[in-house]
Structure 1
Amino acid sequence: MSRLHTSRTRLAGVTTLALAALLLTACDNDSDKNGKPAAAPVVTTTPSAPAAAAPTAAPTTSAPADTPASRAPSSNTKPGSASGQDSGGRTDSGNSVTCEGSNTKTVAAPLNRPINHVLLTVTNTGGKTCYLYGYPALRFGAAQSVPPAIEESHPQAVVTLKPGESGYASVNLSAADGSGGSGDTEKSLTVYFHGPSGNQNVGSGATPSLPAQGLYIDESLKTTYWQQSMDDATSW
């Protein structure tokens, strides 16, 4: 009787243990479903390379300021008076000189019109540009004075002669109506040249040939300023 009771007791204990195990398992399953959520999966990422820095623009530099030293010298200057310049603004340089007897050839040719006039033609025979300043300083024969210039014929610019080029002046020898007073026939002429200041002769003079019969001059003798063209010279 006691063995049967013991067996039942053991069976009941086993059953109780088994039931407890089942309940515990059920609780664990519920905890997985209703307990704390499963941890989020860990995602491993490779850190991206840092963005390349934008290139720095090269600093800009402005062009150097124009300075007097960088400027090319002016090409339209001409020799002057005390300051080395005249009213035309030109400056003597190694490429230009004053026109005078040694670097020019002078020809004197009587004109039919206007009458009683002679045309002086001065041609640059040198290798440099030369300037004809003012008017020709004329000496007929043994005269001691220089005939005056016609002021109205003063050109706007100094006459400039490149090698081979010519400048002109016309000389009014005598009055056509006989109002020029007493006169003489002269057979020689010397032409002197003015310098930049216009009040002195420079270099050597020129002695152009005159007609064999000579030229008649009277007290109305006068000359034009040097002109760049023949037409300008013969219009006076």
Structure 2
Amino acid sequence: MRIRRTRHLLAVTALTALALTACQNGTGVQDEGASQPASDSSTATAQQTGPGAASGSAAGSATGADTKPAGTSSDLADGTSGSTGKGIGKGTATSTGKSTGKGTGTGGTASRVLCNGSNTKVTAQPLARPLNHMLITVTNTGSKLCDLTYWPVLRFDEMQWAPQAAEETQPQAVTSLAPGESGYAGVLLSAADGSGDGGTTAKKLAVAFQGYTPNSDGGASAMPSLPAKGVYYDSSLTVTYWQQDRDDALSW
């Protein structure tokens, strides 16, 4: 009886050892327990939280980045201004901002033209003093600044030559006329001592204008009236450069 009991105890002990071994090899408790799903859920939660947090952080950063330049741009627009500002003080404009300039220049090519017969009024007046002189007056009747370049090209009646300009009368700068202003040229008609040749009396006068290069076409000519008795001239006929001042035109 003792032997059987001993054998029975040994058998039970062996079975118990086998059961414990089976539990430890990963096919028993681990297959039935909840620890593995819990670990997977925690991992999934951690993974889901990771991108979510990154997305939220990125969104926050993006929002902050968008807001910062806007504020900076606004600050620049009030001072030094960038390309999207409202302007840098008066008289300037940025590429996409509003222009704040109020002035209009008169020195650009778009705002000035040549003076000629189409935008001026021209008169020719013989004078008693200086002797044998005539004054040509040109008044700007247009709406833009106009330039009188070089000297007037005169032609009495059907004359085949043009009088030359007295070089000593050349001004420092081009004579420019604002609307309503006048410019002048003096004409020596004949020699006071009678030394001139080919004297004749003219009934008509054409005044031609030069362009920005000598002897170039400056536009329409003018036909100022002469006295009914005409104007006497000879080979001494000489003109001055256009002058801003009347006295300068008659001082030679």
Question: Per the shorter chain, which TM-score range?
Answer: 0.5 to 0.7
User: How many angstroms apart in 2 are the aligned matches of 1:121 and 1:161?
Assistant: 12
User: How many angstroms apart in 2 are the aligned matches of 1:191 and 1:175?
Assistant: 21
1:120 — aligned with what? Answer: 136
Alpha-carbon offset, residue 182 of structure 1: 2.3
CA RMSD after TM alignment: 2.6
Q: State which of 170, 178, 188 in structure 2 corresponds to 1:154.
A: 170
Alpha-carbon offset, residue 176 of structure 1: 0.4
1:17 — aligned with what? Answer: none
2:112 — aligned with what? Answer: 96
User: How many angstroms apart in 1 are the aligned matches of 2:251 and 2:118?
Assistant: 29
Q: Which amino acid aligns with 1:92?
A: T
User: How many angstroms apart in 1 are the aligned matches of 2:176 and 2:209?
Assistant: 14
Is residue 205 from structure 1 mapped to residue 244 from structure 2 by the alignment? no
Q: Secondary structure at the match of 2:233?
A: strand
User: How many angstroms apart in 1 are the aligned matches of 2:206 and 2:219?
Assistant: 13
2:242 — aligned with what? Answer: 226
Q: State which of 142, 163, 188 in structure 1 corresponds to 2:158.
A: 142
Bigger RCO (CA 8 Å, 6+ sep): 1
User: How many angstroms apart in 2 are the aligned matches of 1:118 and 1:108?
Assistant: 7
Q: Which amino acid aligns with 1:214?
A: G
Task: Provide, for residues 83-122 of structure 1, a one-character-per-residue CA deviation record: whole Å limited to 9, x for no partner.
Answer: xxxxxxxx522x2110000000100001111110110000
Alpha-carbon offset, residue 74 of structure 1: 11
User: How many angstroms apart in 1 are the aligned matches of 2:156 and 2:216?
Assistant: 18
Residue segments in structure 2 that go unaligned for 5+ positions in a row: 1-71, 83-87, 95-100
User: How many angstroms apart in 1 are the aligned matches of 2:221 and 2:175?
Assistant: 18
Q: Secondary structure at the match of 1:227?
A: coil
Q: Which has the larger share of strand?
A: 1
* Mapping 1:18-167, distance limit 5 Å: 75=105, 77=107, 91-93=108-110, 95-167=111-183
Alpha-carbon offset, residue 146 of structure 1: 1.1
Q: Could you tell me the TM-score, scaled by structure 2's length?
A: 0.59
Q: Is the 8 A contact 2:106 2:112 kept in 1?
A: no
1:48 — aligned with what? Answer: none
Identity %: 52
Q: 1:121 to 1:179 in 2, by over 3 A?
A: same
Alpha-carbon offset, residue 188 of structure 1: 0.4
Q: Could you tell me the TM-score, scaled by structure 1's length?
A: 0.63
2:26 — aligned with what? Answer: none
Of the two, which has the highest radius of gyration? 1
User: How many angstroms apart in 1 are the aligned matches of 2:126 and 2:186?
Assistant: 9
Q: Secondary structure at the match of 1:204?
A: coil
Aligned residues: 163
Alpha-carbon offset, residue 137 of structure 1: 0.5
